[in-house]
Structure formats: C-alpha cells, structure tokens
Amino acid sequence: QGKLPAATDTALVVQAINGYLIGLLYEWLIDTNAYDLGKHAGAMIDLFLAGLMIKPPLQVLSGN
C-alpha cells in the first residue's frame, strides 16, 4: 500500500535518507563521470525506498 508501519522509527528513517542522499551527491561530486546522476537519481531513490518498505526500522519500546 506504500505505507510504513505506525511503529516505524521515523527519526532513523530521516537520518538514513539524509546519509544516503549526501553520500550519493558526495561520490558524484568527486567524479561526475562515474555515473549520470540526472539519469539514475530516480532509480537510486526508488531502490532505497523499496528496501525501506521491505524492512522498515521499528521503534524499540523500552520495558523499563
């Protein structure tokens, strides 16, 4: 359905997306000929989001 579970650790998701995007841009800026960012950016983001949908990070509830 394209929705994450209510128990998803959204703070961790935000950090992961931020790190992923910064990493992609950093690597591309080091060598802009490595790959066509404009052509592949959408697929790269789709790949990340697909993984997130398959196994989202869930909040750890403290029992104490």
In a domain, 16, yes or no: yes
In a domain, 60, yes or no: no
pLDDT of residue 29: 97
In a domain, 61, yes or no: no
Query: Phi first, then psi: what are they for 33, rounded to 5°?
Result: -90, -5
Measure the CA–CA gap between 22 and 31, rounded to whole angstroms. Answer: 14
Tell me the longest C-alpha to C-alpha distance in the chain.
Answer: 52
Q: How many domains does the chain have?
A: 1
At 42-53, the pLDDT tens digits run 999 999 999 999
Measure the CA–CA gap between 51 and 30, rounded to whole angstroms. Answer: 26
In a domain, 24, yes or no: yes
Give 31's DSSP letter: -
Asked whether 59 and 6 are in contact (CB, 8 A), the reply is no
Q: Could you list the residue range(s) of the whole structural domain that residue 17 is in? A: 10-54
Confidence of residue 61 (pLDDT cuts 50, 70, 90): confident
In a domain, 43, yes or no: yes
At 5-60, the pLDDT tens digits run 999 999 999 999 999 999 999 999 999 999 999 999 999 999 999 999 999 999 98
